[in-house]
Structure 1
Amino acid sequence: MGRRAVLLALTVVAALTGCHHDDEAARARASAAGLVARVPLASAGFPPDAATAGRLLAGLKVEWGRNWQTYRREEFGRTWSDETDAIGGRNGCDTRDDVLRRDLAELREGDRNPCVVLSGVLHDPYTGKALPYSYRRASQIQTDHVVALGAAWRAGAYAWTPRRRLEYANDLDVLLAVDKQTNQDKGSRTADKWVPPRQAYRCEYARRYVGIKAKYALSVTPPEQSALRALLAACPP
């Protein structure tokens, strides 16, 4: 075989091999995108409407928090985890990326990895601010546990298994993308000690808060119950 023929043959083989790898990569991306799309980012009917939240609140156990002095963040897992049966779990995406994909507007996802959020804008529910997000830049966005981990611990999570606590920490129903400073101001305070600065969101905040407490059978303190009842009563009809 002449040199020109050998070069031509090698070129054809390389092209065919490249096409094969490209096809495999395309199939892998399509499979990943399909998995991501199939996993819901919120429970059906969550958060509950105000009337339902009122009924759920009435059914919660009322008691003062316990074991607050034993709380450690590590009890809920050291990092985000996709390996749970919580909403958003086992879809191959980092929990924080799931929250961003759900909560950002003007969303742009990665071509090769549909889990990765490249950019978007958060219309912060707590303050009403428009907060830009870019994958390669620091942002003013944090992921908030609406019922904070410390508050959940005092309300009953201290008695859970580590697996149950990891599920709670990564449950998308429990999480919101919010303004960083406002989240830090909130800390682990409960609804009787902190509400969103943006008054228009306080009804939904109470609905989410009660929905989480009911979903995980967490107790409320007497002041917490009173505060939530007042917030729900102020919801628009």
Structure 2
Amino acid sequence: MGVRASSPAVAAALLLISGCHHGGAEAARPSAARLVQQVPLTGPGFPPDAAAAKDLLARLTVGWGKNWQTYKRENFGRYWSDDTDAVGGRNGCDTRDDVLRRDLSELREGDRNPCVVVSGVLHDPYTGKTLPYSYRKASQIETDHVVALGAAWRGGAYAWTPQRRLAYANDLDVLLAVDKQTNQDKGSRTADRWQPPRAEYRCEYARRYVGIKAKYGLSVTPPEKTALTGMLATCPA
């Protein structure tokens, strides 16, 4: 059974997609803005604090990755998706715009479409760089999966349903806006093979990494666990 076209949520979602102002759109725009804001951009209690992360790490399954040779990016969906099962899902916005709205400061959103981030500034957690963002210019900012899709695949995502993999790829708890070159240098490397160049961020990186692994029931390799234990040891007491 379809949803009636008069549904306020449907009308707001259509406005977000179209960005139109004619036909009463001015009156509907506040509803669209509320739709953007009504879904949290971070899960409750995420990332875990250091003590909780250490406890979660101790309970993760330890084993060597599997099925690495079958990994393909499209296994997690081809495009960003406003997925219902992901943190931030179903607010009518592109996942990347949600990440930018959460992680950038000095934020300016679109007048016609509140989903669109027009400009802002990223204080990159991985390097400490200050990176400007403009919608109309080439950006040095990319969206990183903290536990990379390839690493998640090897840690157990190969056995998930396509819907669960799509949710993972669009879960804001899994994602960070970061420096483009640093993200590309990281690739699909796990925590034993890559750590943020900025040492001050390694505690939070490990907390996020472990929180993601625990949330999705992903395994860690023995070297990965050792590296995460070391990074968590740098957290303030």
TM-score (norm 2): 0.90
Structure 1 residue 161 displacement after superposition = 0.1
Structure 1 residue 27 displacement after superposition = 2.7
Structure 1 residue 23 displacement after superposition = 8.1
Instruction: Determine if contact 1:140/1:180 at 8 Å carries over to the other structure.
Output: yes
Report the counterpart of residue 3 of structure 1 in structure 2: none
Q: Name the CA distance, whole Å, in 2 between partners of 1:44 and 1:150.
A: 26
SS at match of 1:52: helix
State the Cα deviation string for residues 113-166 of structure 1 (Å, max 9, x = none). Answer: 110000000000000000000000001000000000000000000000000000
Report the counterpart of residue 36 of structure 1 in structure 2: 36
Q: Name the CA distance, whole Å, in 2 between partners of 1:76 and 1:207.
A: 23
Report the counterpart of residue 77 of structure 1 in structure 2: 77
Q: Name the CA distance, whole Å, in 1 between partners of 2:104 and 2:28.
A: 25
Report the counterpart of residue 195 of structure 1 in structure 2: 195
Report the counterpart of residue 5 of structure 2 in structure 1: none
Structure 1 residue 45 displacement after superposition = 1.2
Letter in 2 for 1:85: D
Q: Name the CA distance, whole Å, in 1 between partners of 2:171 and 2:27.
A: 29
Report the counterpart of residue 204 of structure 2 in structure 1: 204
Return 5+ residue gaps in structure 1 as ranges. 1-20
In the alignment, structure 1 residue 141 sits paired with structure 2 residue 138: no
Q: Could you tell me the percent identity over the aligned residues? A: 80
In the alignment, structure 1 residue 60 sits paired with structure 2 residue 38: no
SS at match of 1:166: helix
Q: Name the CA distance, whole Å, in 2 between partners of 1:151 and 1:22.
A: 47
Return 5+ residue gaps in structure 2 as ranges. 1-20
Structure 1 residue 28 displacement after superposition = 1.9
Letter in 2 for 1:59: R
Report the counterpart of residue 96 of structure 1 in structure 2: 96
Q: Name the CA distance, whole Å, in 1 between partners of 2:24 and 2:223.
A: 58
SS at match of 2:191: coil
Letter in 2 for 1:177: A
State the Cα deviation string for residues 64-95 of structure 1 (Å, max 9, x = none). Answer: 00000000000000000013321010000000
Larger Rg: 1
Report the counterpart of residue 45 of structure 2 in structure 1: 45
Report the counterpart of residue 214 of structure 2 in structure 1: 214
RMSD of Structure 2 on Structure 1 (CA): 1.0
Report the counterpart of residue 118 of structure 2 in structure 1: 118
SS at match of 1:191: coil
Instruction: Determine if contact 1:84/1:166 at 8 Å carries over to the other structure.
Output: no
TM-score (norm 1): 0.90
Structure 1 residue 22 displacement after superposition = 6.4
Higher helix fraction: Structure 1 or Structure 2?
1
Q: Name the CA distance, whole Å, in 2 between partners of 1:225 and 1:110.
A: 43
Instruction: Determine if contact 1:84/1:170 at 8 Å carries over to the other structure.
Output: no
Report the counterpart of residue 6 of structure 2 in structure 1: none
